[in-house]
Structures are given as C-alpha cells and as structure tokens.
Chain A
Amino acid sequence: MIRTELKRGTAELAVLSVLESGPLHGYEIGRRIEEQSGGSLRYTLAALYPLLYRMEHRGWLRGEWQTGDSGKRRRCYRLLPRGRKMLKPMRAEWADLFRALRRVAKVATHA
C-alpha cells in the first residue's frame, strides 16, 4: 500500500514538473521524466496513463487532441492552475521527506 502510494506520489510530482514548461503528450511526458531523471524514473504505461487520467479528473491537467506538424493526432496534456498550485507544496513535502530520510540514513550508517 505504502509502496504504491509512494510510487504514485513521485509520479505525480514528476508529471507536474515536466508539464510546468508547457503542454506535452503522454509519450513525451514519459520520455522527459526518464531523461531528466537520468533514466532512474521510468514509468510503464500501466503506471503513467491511469495517473494522467486521475490528475485530469482532479482538475490538475487537461488533455486535448491535437494534430501535429507530422499530421499525427496526439493527446496533449496541459497543466491547469489547480495543478500548478499543487507543485509548490508537493515539492516542499518531498524535499522534507528526502531530508528526513537522509538524516535517518546517516544515523543508521554511524550507528
């Protein structure tokens, strides 16, 4: 349970962060996350798309079909104000968590 929630939590932050710079389609979202995390964060379709649909239902994102220059129709996700508002507290929350984990890990190493 915690593992799933944790995974979901990191993915939410990752998706919101890559969308901060502009709208992207699903494949590009996954690719950017992987690229920016140096390959550490790689989400399967089973993890990425349900998350995108959840975030869309919550009003954090909006997905719209667009036809690109190549003529391909893709569903592009755009960050909505509600999603943008979530970014700051989410980043702070994760930063706190990592700081706490680092402290714990340090104590464990010295013990």
Chain B
Amino acid sequence: MRDWRAFVTERLGSVRGDQAERQQIESELAQHLEEYYDDLRTQGVAEKLAFVQTCARVGDWKELRQEINSARQEGTMTDRVQQIWLPTLVTLVLAAVVLTILAVVDAHPVIFDLGQLRGVMLYVPWLLLLPVVGAIGAYLSRRAQGTGWRVYVSGLSPALAWGVVLVLVAPFAFLVNPAVAPGLKVTSILAMVVSWVVLPGIALGIGIALQGLQRSRTATSV
C-alpha cells in the first residue's frame, strides 16, 4: 500500500505556516490522492495507470505550493486588517474624537499637582467613556475572529499609542530643552505615563474585559 502522505510531503516542499498547519495541508492532499487512486482501482484501472492518472490530478507541484502559499498569505493579510488594523483605527479615532469633544465643551481635567511642572491629569468624563471605546475595539476584532493579543492591541490602542509617543518623543523633547531640571524630567514623564497610558489603559482594559464577558454570556445562552 502506497504512503500518500510521504508522497505529498516529499513533492510539495515547504509550505508557509507552522508545523501543525503544514501537516494538515499534507494530510488533506494525501487523503484526496488516496481516494482518487482507490476509486480508479475500484473501476478496474491497472495499478500503474491509476498511479500515473493520480499524479496527473495534482497538476504542477510547484504551482500547488505557490498557490497555497499565496492563498495563505492573502488570508493572513485579510485577517490582520480585519482583526487588528481596522479595530485599532476605529478605537484610536473614537478616543481622539471623544477627547476633542470634551475639549470643545471645555471639560477641564482634574489635576493632581505633584508640585512639579506637570501633575497627573484626570479627564474623568474621557476615562469614563474609554471602556466603551475599548469594548468597541475588542468587539470589532473578535467579530473578525480575532483572539488573544490581537483583541487587546485593538482595544488598548489609544493607550499604546500614547505610550509609544511618550517613549519616543518625550525623552527627545526633554533633551531639546536643557532648562528642565533633571529630577523634573522623570517626574513629568511618570505623570504623563500615568495620565495618558496607565489610567486610559485600565479604562480601555475594563471595556475589553466586559465585552469579552458579555460575548461569552451570549455564546452560552445561544
């Protein structure tokens, strides 16, 4: 009896993806060839001819590999856009719009003055609305079958974006302004990190968690 799995593995070559995915593809193709070969044999086709016809059924192995890789690449790109980039964009825009509206209606932040140049600022209405924003980001990502870190990146993106800005831009800004005292630099950065990364991150995280909870409840009740 022919080992169709080994036959496929040997000729297909390297397909993109982890080992489990590659094995699944090889198994599926081997299964197809085996069934076709068995059908031909059942119809009375001689062993050698059945094998030749089965091989012809593959088409070109190189084309098969390239097309599978291309199909998987297309899927990965589509998945990334739907599970990460689109929800991230929506979440970022929503967080910015809410903050802008609050600024327009003149909602002042509560500032905990640390006795330094900049204290911890609490935009309370913004922080109260951020769970909704985070939940929307998580919902969009999960709706596109996003899981794990993809959902969190989508939901937490406003806080992550501020984190990136602070890590990359703030130190540079302090370097440009030598008048700022050394002690003040660290305190100010910490205050900004708390104001724009930690607290919004917690608020967005609450939204992500609540959306996950609501989703699992809905799934259970269906």
Binding site for B on A (CB under 8 A): 25-27, 30, 44-47, 49-51, 53-54, 56-58, 65, 72-75
Contacts and interface: CB of A to CB of B under 8 A. Distances in A.
B72 interface: yes
A57 B79 contact: yes
A93 to B, nearest CB: 21
A56 B72 CA distance: 10
Interface string B71-98: 1101100110000000000000000000
Nearest to B69: A50
A56 B75 contact: yes
A3 to B, nearest CB: 14
B85 to A, nearest CB: 16
Q: Is the interface of B mostly helix, strand, loop or mixed?
A: helix
Given A27-B31, A57-B79, A50 B59 contact: no
Choose among B25, B67, B72 the residue with the greatest number of A CB atoms under 10 Å from its CB: B67
A74 B68 contact: no
A54 B32 contact: no
Contact of A44 (B31, B59, B68, B74): B59
Contacts of B25: 49
A75 B28 contact: yes
Contact of B71 (A51, A65, A72, A75): A51
A49 B25 CA distance: 9
B47 interface: no
22 contacts: A26-B28, A26-B31, A44-B59, A45-B33, A45-B57, A45-B58, A45-B64, A46-B63, A46-B67, A49-B28, A49-B67, A50-B64, A50-B70, A51-B71, A53-B72, A53-B75, A54-B71, A57-B71, A57-B75, A57-B78, A73-B31, A75-B27
Contacts of A49: 25, 28-29, 32, 64, 67-68
B35 interface: yes
Interface of B: 24-25, 27-29, 31-33, 35-36, 57-61, 63-64, 67-68, 70-72, 74-75, 78-79
A74 to B, nearest CB: 6
Contacts of A58: 75, 78
B64 A72 contact: no
Contact of B31 (A25, A46, A51, A54): A25
A27 B64 contact: no
Given A44-B57, A46-B63, A57-B71, A73 B36 contact: no
B211 to A, nearest CB: 21
Contacts of B70: 50
Given A27-B35, A44-B58, A45-B59, A54 B75 contact: yes
A30 B36 CA distance: 10
A61 B68 CA distance: 16
Contacts of B68: 49-50, 53
Contact of B64 (A46, A54, A73, A74): A46
